Amino acid sequence: MKKKEYTLFQSAGRCYDEDGYNYEAYVEYCQDNGREPEAEGSQDYWDWVSDMAELDYDNFFDNLKYANGDKGMYMITFNLGLWNGHRIGYVEEIYKSMTDAIKAALNSSRDYLDYKVTYEDGEVVVYGYHHDGTNVMHIKQLSKHGERNLAYTRFPDFEKYVNSKDTFKRIKEDFAWD
């Protein structure tokens, strides 16, 4: 079975040369709005790229808050790319919405140069690119078993349940639009 994988949204630096934010799209935008486009690489072009990325970010979260996929309880596991190697672990916090989990992952490091949020075969994955490497954070939805053992316990044994097969369930592919 083919793995489902696609980008949900990303920072301007990650997507300036892709279909959505390329120079041709900027020229078309200017023409549609009665403006004369400036040269590729101009400050006006990069301002437009930044504005479009911010609009995509805002639209994603606006849509998500009305989707059924935002409901539930979520946890973040991570693989941090550090100057002295990788650190693998999990955040000992349960998030009450997908929105909260994604925003926490994006805000986990203030020195990200770029970021990308993807859906990858049942998980939402946040990539944060920074000067030392890449942080990869997997947002996982808790199953009923996971909620019972992690979300409603004052001091849960995280390690035991995070590694249990029945702690998480797959996130539906259309979670942000259902």
Task: State pLDDT tens for residues 102-126.
Answer: 999 988 765 566 888 999 988 999 9
Residue 174 domain-assigned?
no
Domain match, 60 and 78 both: no
Q: For 77-108, b where at least 16 C-beta lie within 10 A, e where not — what string? A: bbebbeeeeeeeebbeebbebbbbbbebbbeb
Q: Are 77 and 159 in contact (CB under 8 A)?
A: no
Q: Are 94 and 142 in contact (CB under 8 A)?
A: yes
Q: How many CB atoms lie within 10 A of CB 12?
A: 19
User: Structurally, how many domains does the chain consist of?
Assistant: 2
Residue 176 domain-assigned?
no
For residue 39, the enclosing domain spans 5-64
Domain match, 22 and 39 both: yes
Q: Single out the residue in 64, 86, 105 at which a domain terminates.
A: 64
Residue 175 domain-assigned?
no
Domain match, 100 and 13 both: no
Q: How many helices (H) and strands (E) does the chain have?
A: 6, 8
Domain match, 49 and 124 both: no
- What stretches in the chain show pLDDT beneath 70? 1-2, 12-20, 109-113, 154-155, 176-178
Task: State pLDDT tens for residues 90-105.
Answer: 888 899 999 999 999 9
Domain match, 49 and 96 both: no
Q: Single out the residue in 32, 64, 96 at which a domain terminates.
A: 64
- Give Cα 16 to chain centroid, integer Å: 18
Instruction: List for the chain the helix, strand, coil content (%; round to 5).
Output: 35, 30, 35
Is pTM, for the whole model, over 0.75? Answer: yes
